Structure formats: C-alpha cells, structure tokens
Amino acid sequence: MKAYLYDGTFEGLLSTLYQALREQDTNIRIEAEADYQADLFTQTQSLPTDQPLADRLYGLICQEMSAMTLRHVYRLFLSETTDAGTKLLPFLLKGFQIGSGINGLMSDPIVHPVLSLSRQVARESHRLLGLLRFQELEGGLYYASLEPDFNQIPLIAPHFVRRLASQPWIIHDVKRELAACWDTNEWVLQDLPAGETPVYSQNEEDMQELWRAYFRHIAIRQRTNPRVQRNFMPKKYWKHLVEEPGSQAKK
Amino acid sequence: MELSQKLSILAESAKYDVSCSSSGSNRANTPGGIGNAATAGICHSWSDDGRCISLLKILMTNDCIYDCTYCVNRRTNDIPRATFLPRELAELTIAFYLRNYIEGLFLSAAIRETPDRTMEDMVEVMRLLREEYRFNGYIHVKAIPGADPLLIAKAGQLADRMSVNIELPSERSLHLLAPQKKRESILLPMGQIRQGIVQRREERKRFKKAPAFVPAGQSTQLMIGATPESDRQILRLSQGLYRKFQMKRVYYSAYMAVNTSSLLPVPGGPPPTLREHRLYQADWLLRFYHFDAEELLQEEMPQLDLLLDPKCMWALRHPEIFPIEVNRADYQTLLRIPGIGPTSARRIASARRFGPLNFDGLKRTGAVLKRARYFITCQGKYYGGRDFDPRRIHQLLTAEHTYEQQGYQGVQMTLTDLVSEPKPLPYALVKTVNDLPHVVSRPPDVPEKTAQLWHQSHKTGNPGTVENSVMTNLRALAQRKEAAHESLPV
C-alpha cells in the first residue's frame, strides 16, 4: 500500500490528489504529514505543494463535476479527519466518470462517506452561525470564542462579514488557537493564542443579564423538554453561550 | 420601570406565540447598515422547553382592552403590565443583534387603547429600526385586526413576515371565547397582505428594484385543545388557508390552560403536545407530500391517531397499493411511503439513474427503514417480516411509538409476533382504490372557501370525540345566549 503525504494546506491536498488521480489507483492513502502514523507495510512519499497542479484540479472539479463538489472537497479538508483525503480519492475518480450527478449519489458506497462527512461539517457551521456569541470589549471591538469539532472559522467568517460589516470583530477558535479578524475593511485568518481574559465594555454585563432574563422567561415551564433542547443544542456548545440552558430542568 | 423588568414581563406575555421562524427572506445588508436575512433562517438558541429562539419574540405592550377568555393578557387578569417605548425596543433589538443573540425581531402586541394606536407604535419601532439604525435583519410583525389598512400596508413594507393569528378554529368558538373579535376583522388584513404580496411579486417581474412587500410571506396560528374542533376541521381550515391565502405556515399551539373558565379545560393539566405534534406532521403532508386533507381524515374518522403518525395511518388504510417497489415507483408514489420524505425520495430517484438500488443503497439514502421496510419491496424482496398485513404492522409500529416514548430506540420482531394472530386494525380501510393523486388527477387547486368553512365548522362538530364537559358547556352557553337574544324586546 502507498501513502502520499501533503503539507496540511488545501492547495497541498489538491495537488497531492491530482498526482494520485493520475495513477488511477484507488488504493493510495492521502494524509496530512502532521497526522500521519507510520506503519510497516506502507510506502510513504511526501509531496510538496504544487500550485499549478492544485489550480488545475480546482478548475477541473468545477468543470467536470460542479462548484458544489468542490465545496464538499473543501469541507472534508476542514473536517481535519485523518482519512478525509483517502475518502476523496475514489470519490473524485468516480466523479470524473459520472459528472455532477455525483452530488446526489448518496446511495453509493464510495460517495456516501464523503457526502455524509461534508454534511456533518455543514451542519456544525450552520449551528454556529446561530450559537456564536459576541461580547463587546472596551474600545468597541466585538469578540466571540468557540471550540468547534471541525475547523469552522473559514466557513463561518464570510457570513459575519456580510452581516456585521460596520463593526470590527474577532472570532476566536480557542481549541485551534486560530482567529478571524475583521477591521470593517477586510478579514484575515491568523494565529491567536488562547487564555487572555478580555475586558468588557461598560454595558456588556447588563446586556448579557438582559439576555439571560429573556431566555428564562421565554420558556413555557409546563413544556420543559431538556431532551429536545440538547438534541438541537448539544451540551458541548454551552460553554461559550451567554444564556444558561437547562436551568428550568434543575428546578 | 427598569428595562429588565419590562423585558421579563413582556417576554412572559409573548411566549405562547409559537412562530419563531426567520426563513424566507433574503434581504441583503446595505453599506453602513446592520445585518441581513438568511434565506434558510437561523436558530440562535433553544429554550428549556426545546423550542428554538430565533427572533426576539416580544410584545410591545401587554396592556389589553380585550377580554378573550383563553388569553393570559386578558383585561380582567391580575398580572403586571408593561409597555415599551418604541426607541427602547429598537435599541434593545440592535444590542442583541450585534451580539448575535437573535436573527431579528418578532413584534406583537396586546391592543392598547385602539387597534390603530397599537399598530402605529409597532410601525414606529420598525421605522426606527429600518431607517435610523439601518437594520436589515429579519422582522416579523403581527397585523392587528381592526387597524387602518394604510398602517398595515406601511408595516408590510418594513417587515419580512406578517401574521394574523386566528387562534380559534371556528367562528362559533370565536364568538364564545373572544366576543370582542370578529371573523371579518381577522380575515380582512389577511386578504390585504395576500393581495399586497401578489401585487408586489408582479411588479418585481417588471421592475427589479420595486421595494419588497412581506417578502417572507404570512403565517397564522391555531390553538389546539381549547375548543372542541376536531383534527379534521382544523386540517381542512389549514388547507383552505394555504390555498386561499397562500400562507407560508399555519402554526398549531397546544393550549396551555392559563385562565379558569367553564368554557375551557381546567388549568394545571399538561398541554396536548402529542396532538399538536400529529397535526404538524399532517400539516407537513399537506405542504410537502401532496396530500389532501380529505385523504387523511374523513367525516366518520375525524381525529388523528395519537399512537401513529398520519402517514402511517394513511398507508395502513390503503393496503391495495402496498408494498411499493422502490426501484420502479415514481417520485409522487415514493412520497406516499412512510419513512420516505422529499429528500430520500429525491436521492432514490437520482440513484436509480446509475443502476438498480439494493437494500444497502437504500439504507444510505437516509430513508427511515424502521418504518419504510413494512411498506416496500427492494428488488422484489420484502423486508418487513412475514408478509404485508396492516394489522400486524399497526401493532409493531404502535409498539415502536410506546418504546420511543419510554426512551428506547427501535423494536425487535419477536417469535410471538410471527405466530400469534394480530388484533384487528382500529380504523376502517378506505374504500376507494385509486385515490393516489397521480393516478387520478390532483384535486383541483380551486381556492377553498375558507370563509364558508368557518361558518360550517360548527355544524360538523363531532361531539363524541372531544371532552364532553367542554362540549356540554359550550352548548349550554350557546343556548342560553340564543335564548337571551330571542327574548330581547325588539
């Protein structure tokens, strides 16, 4: 068995996939160099990023399949699961055979793992669009922290660029120590270590208290249903919320 | 009064409104503005009752001149009252929105002084938000029945969605429980909004920049369990509303008894949430599965089964078309199979373009096989156990429901199931053989005479199916009222 290792960038993944696709062999593992666990029976080869190849595959996927397929590939890359690349290789080979129909071919054993992982990533992004909570810091900067399962910042930042364009903000992935910073002009992705406690603006505490009060009063006590609440909003997201879910159930 | 106190009081008063959707509008942000609307809608949190919080759902005021028997904010209730100033509420909305707590505002109100005065205040909040704060997020606003049509039109230009709550599903109940409201005053703004939407849609075909009018459509809400209407009456009314008024949604709200009255269920009991759930399921069948209300419930069978979802119930009464071969059935027929919805039906259809679909492939399409397996064959093989026997399947599916309520997942077929003789089906089979909509032509989309339905609904009321005490009370009161009416000296 062979394994091709890429450098952990999206371009790296694309160019490595391109080279593997050329061999028409679905038995190649494709993994990020950092995640790779060596074993005795695999021949490994590290491939450096080849920008023209990456660009070429990028264009080919759009042309032969669809922009949606490219989005699936990007989401799998951001899922940061070790076998994402390995899943993508046979998927793309099949895609070159059947074209854009691949996006709907859930029933296929090769396509299904890719589409379902892509959906998992998309589901978490959509959830975070709602669950992200900004806090106003001194000086008018809005700060939001999160710890998603997948690397979500590149997926959700554009939404907030459109929505909250007139205020500067930072969305901080505490787990990956990565942040999207928006200065009302352009947004950049940069490393940002976790651990600093921000200084709130004057009325931030009051606003948070108002929101908590609203959250308490909008629930109908006789319909308390913690199971449904946790289904929609798993506990892992509660840490970064302002409100206090589940307080009814305790009473 | 402090802001937090006001917020608490007015949120408390607004919580019985069900709607909280923020979908259907794609309003974009403007340069220097705040916010935009997401077409799919975004939920921002889920409160402890499991309902989503998408919009800041709040009343402008809970200080009401009306005295509707069922309502928590009725004039004669001794509860704290509060009223927001328009600017106060606009500022609060913006502060919450900037922190990404909410998707927008859902503004409702009790009737303070006059309907016009109330609507004016609400329009003022929206005007402040849209014009001063340049807010482009989602706004859902209630149209107050009886308000000036000009105010309603102004609100429609500023809002994304509008709604008028019907609450009581028949005119008779409305007359008894909310005597100050009139059926006409509810239907009037509804008709006006519908007309505005249609007109603006036409204009937009010609002029791209024509301003939007209620781009996310209108919705309404019906109260479940406060009055004796049957599920059949409620569903027929909903269908009429969807067809005639082109509603985006009809919401159902399991009635929480908040007031003591001989006309209402006793306070303290749990709200009929399971019935509400079944009605929502039936509602989905109307909107996404091409079902007709008449197919689901007939005059001799006016209630939905609480133990079984409406689609299973329908399927079990139509053994003549099942089991269906998933490799051959067309899309419309696939939609009729319990456990298969629009998404999995679409996936099945697209999978079949590349070759026959086997049972493993079917699993991957996301069809809910714990239900679907009883109603299909896949490549000619039946996966539902012994044979297609509605009585046996009914027993298994209801057992499944019972287990699920207790927190288990799924139910196994047992030996006793294989050998014992199943109990008879609790409902009659439907006689007509070919009432699949694609076999016969679809029921014509003639606008249902919703107004007439309102009149008729009390005639077809089925006293055997509802709590008798309520029914007797209603009847007695009606008689008393009629008698009183007759004895009036003319």
Taking only the tens place, the pLDDT of each residue in B141-196 is: 999 999 999 999 999 999 999 999 998 988 888 888 988 888 888 899 999 999 99
d(CA B487, CA B41): 56
d(CA A180, CA A190): 6
Considering only CB atoms, A132 lies closest to which of B50, B100, B346, namely B100
The predicted pLDDT at position B416 comes to: 61
First-to-final CA distance of chain B: 50
Q: How far is CA B25 from CA B37, B144, B213, B319, in A?
A: 6, 22, 11, 42
The secondary structure element, H or E, covering residue B315 is helix B310-316
Q: By three-state DSSP, how is residue B250 classified?
A: strand
Whether the per-residue pLDDT at B474 is higher than 70: the answer is: no
Q: Does A220 touch chain B (CB under 8 A)?
A: yes
Taking only the tens place, the pLDDT of each residue in B308-317 is: 999 999 999 8
The predicted pLDDT at position B265 comes to: 83
The predicted pLDDT at position B430 comes to: 62
Region B134-146: what's the mean pLDDT? 94
For chain B, the average pLDDT equals: 84
Taking only the tens place, the pLDDT of each residue in B325-360 is: 999 999 999 999 999 999 999 999 999 988 899 999
Region B267-275: what's the mean pLDDT? 85
Q: Among B212, B167, B190, B192, which residue's Cα sits nearest to residue B24?
A: B212
Contacts of residue A232 in chain B, CB cutoff 8 Å? 43, 46, 50, 52
Under an 8 A CB cutoff, do B360 and A229 touch? no
Identify residue A103 by its one-letter amino acid code.
N
Taking only the tens place, the pLDDT of each residue in B355-407 is: 899 999 999 999 999 999 999 999 989 998 888 888 888 888 888 777 777 66
CA distance A165 to chain B (A): 7
Under an 8 A CB cutoff, do B256 and A222 touch? yes
More confident residue, B239 or B212: B239
Q: Among B69, B173, B165, which residue's Cα sits nearest to residue B457?
A: B173
Under an 8 A CB cutoff, do A136 and B48 touch? no
Considering only CB atoms, B270 lies closest to which of A167, A217, A222, namely A222
Considering only CB atoms, A163 lies closest to which of B8, B35, B49, namely B35
Counting as low any pLDDT under 70, the low residues of chain A are 248-251
Token pair, residue A71, equals 């989005």
Under an 8 A CB cutoff, do A222 and B271 touch? yes
d(CA B441, CA B433): 14
Residue of B nearest to A161 (CA): B35
For tokens 């609060």, name the residue.
Answer: B92
More confident residue, B178 or B475: B178
The predicted pLDDT at position B182 comes to: 85
Dihedral sign from CA coordinates of B225, B230, B231, B234 = negative
Sorted by where each begins, the domain ranges of chain B are 3-163, 310-419
Q: By three-state DSSP, how is residue B33 classified?
A: coil
d(CA B192, CA B490): 37
In this structure, the number of other CB atoms found within 10 A of the CB of residue B179 comes to 13
For tokens 């709550």, name the residue.
Answer: B165
The predicted pLDDT at position B418 comes to: 58
Taking only the tens place, the pLDDT of each residue in B24-41 is: 998 999 999 999 999 999
The predicted pLDDT at position B261 comes to: 83
d(CA B474, CA B432): 36
The predicted pLDDT at position B477 comes to: 53
CA distance B260 to chain A (A): 17
ipTM of predicted complex: 0.94
Q: How many CB pairs under 8 A join A and B?
A: 168
The predicted pLDDT at position B256 comes to: 85
Contacts of residue B49 in chain A, CB cutoff 8 Å? 219-221, 223-225, 229, 248
B121 Cβ contact partners less than 8 Å away, ≥ 6 residues apart: B60, B61, B86, B109, B112
Q: Among B296, B251, B301, B313, which residue's Cα sits nearest to residue B276?
A: B251
Under an 8 A CB cutoff, do A130 and B45 touch? yes
Percent of chain B with pLDDT over 90: 56
